[in-house]
Amino acid sequence: MATTRDARGNLCLGGVRLQTLADDPAIGTPTYVYDLSAIALEARELRESFEGAPHLVAFAVKANSAGPVVRVLAREGCGADVVSGSELALALACGISPDHVVYSGVAKTDDELDRAIFAGPRGIGAVQVESVEEIPRVDARAASAGRVARVAVRVNPGVDLAELGTHAYIATGHDEAKFGVALDDMSLALSALRAARHTELVGLGMHVGSQLTSITPYVDASRTLFRLTAEVRAEQGKRLAFVDTGGGFGIDYGEGACVRPGDFVRAVRALQRAAGLDDLALHVDPGRSLVAANGVLLARVVQSKVSRFQKGAAPLQWLLIDAGMNDLLRPALYRARHRVVPLGPDAGPPSNWRVVGPVCESSDDFGIHMLPDSPPAAIAILDAGAYGYTMASSYNGRALPAEVFIEGGRVVDRRARGSVESWILERTSGDSRATKRS
Ligand code: LLP
Cβ of residue 286 lying under 6 Å from some atom of ligand 1: yes
Helix (H) or strand (E) holding 218: helix 216-236
> What per-residue confidence (pLDDT) applies to 391?
98
Kindly report, residue by residue over 170-221, the tens digit of the pLDDT. 676 676 778 999 999 999 999 999 999 999 999 999 999 999 999 999 999 9
Closest ligand 1 atom, residue 247 Cα: 13
Instruction: Give residue 181's identity as a one-letter amino acid code.
Output: V
> What per-residue confidence (pLDDT) applies to 246?
97
Burial class (CB in 10 A: 0-12, 13-18, 19+), 254: exposed
Cβ of residue 32 lying under 6 Å from some atom of ligand 1: no
Q: How far is the CA of 390 from the centre of ligand 1 (A)?
A: 12
Out of 46, 101, 207, 289, give the residue to mutate to test ligand 1, the one with the largest number of ligand atoms within 8 Å of its CB: 207
Burial class (CB in 10 A: 0-12, 13-18, 19+), 127: buried
For the chain, the C-alpha Rg in angstroms (whole number) is: 23
Low-confidence winner among 2-11, 47-56, 111-120, 232-241 (lowest mean pLDDT): 232-241
Active site residue 78: no
Low-confidence winner among 86-95, 152-161, 324-333 (lowest mean pLDDT): 152-161
Q: How far is residue 246 from each of residues 11, 79, 167, 190, 378, measured CA to CA in Å? A: 34, 13, 17, 21, 37
Kindly report, residue by residue over 116-164, the tens digit of the pLDDT. 999 999 999 999 999 999 999 999 999 999 999 999 999 999 877 666 6
Distance CA 135, CA 62 (A): 24
Helix, strand, coil: what percent of the chain each, to 5? Answer: 35, 25, 40
Instruction: Give residue 433's identity as a one-letter amino acid code.
Output: R
Residue nearest atom 5 of ligand 1, based on CA coordinates: 207
Within 13 A of 425's CA, how many CA atoms are on the CB side?
Answer: 6
Within 13 A of 180's CA, how many CA atoms are on the CB side?
Answer: 27
Residue 7 has pLDDT above 90, yes or no: yes
Distance CA 72, CA 405 (A): 11
Q: Of the residues 78, 94, 258, 360, which is catalytic? A: 360
Within 13 A of 289's CA, how many CA atoms are on the CB side?
Answer: 31
> What per-residue confidence (pLDDT) applies to 155?
95
How does residue 310 score in pLDDT terms, banded at 50, 70 and 90? Answer: confident
Low-confidence winner among 258-262, 294-298, 311-315, 381-385 (lowest mean pLDDT): 311-315
Single pTM value for the model: 0.95
> What per-residue confidence (pLDDT) applies to 437?
52
Q: How far is residue 26 from each of residues 23, 29, 78, measured CA to CA in Å? A: 9, 10, 32
Q: How far is residue 303 from each of residues 233, 300, 321, 354, measured CA to CA in Å? A: 63, 9, 7, 12
- The per-residue pLDDT of the chain, averaged, comes to 94
Q: How far is the CA of 38 from the centre of ligand 1 (A)?
A: 20
Q: Write the Ramachandran bin of 205: left for phi over 0, alpha for psi from -120 to 50, otherwise beta.
A: beta
Residue nearest atom 24 of ligand 1, based on CA coordinates: 387
- Strand-pair partners of 244: 205, 283
> What per-residue confidence (pLDDT) applies to 161?
63
Percentage of the chain modeled with pLDDT above 90: 87
Residues 92/84, Cβ–Cβ less than 8 Å: no
> What per-residue confidence (pLDDT) applies to 23?
97
> What per-residue confidence (pLDDT) applies to 346?
79
Cβ of residue 98 lying under 6 Å from some atom of ligand 1: no
Out of 288, 297, 333, 381, give the residue to mutate to test ligand 1, the one with the largest number of ligand atoms within 8 Å of its CB: 288
Helix (H) or strand (E) holding 434: helix 432-437
> What per-residue confidence (pLDDT) applies to 432?
60
Residue 385 has pLDDT above 70, yes or no: yes
DSSP state of 305: E
What is the residue-wise DSSP string for 382-402? -S-SSSSGGG---GGGPPPPE
Residue 91: which of 295, 287, 329 has the closest Cα?
Answer: 287
Burial class (CB in 10 A: 0-12, 13-18, 19+), 314: exposed
Residues 41/262, Cβ–Cβ less than 8 Å: no
Nearby residues of 212 by Cβ (< 8 Å), 6 or more positions away: 164, 165, 166, 218, 248, 249, 250, 264
Cis peptide before 30 (omega within 30 of 0): yes
Out of 57, 62, 156, give the residue to mutate to test ligand 1, the one with the largest number of ligand atoms within 8 Å of its CB: 62
Low-confidence winner among 126-140, 233-247, 366-380, 407-421 (lowest mean pLDDT): 233-247
Compute the average pLDDT of residues 262-270.
97
Residue nearest atom 9 of ligand 1, based on CA coordinates: 247
Q: Write the Ramachandran bin of 415: left for phi over 0, alpha for psi from -120 to 50, otherwise beta.
A: beta
Q: How far is residue 23 from each of residues 250, 299, 340, 384, 413, measured CA to CA in Å? A: 33, 11, 18, 20, 17
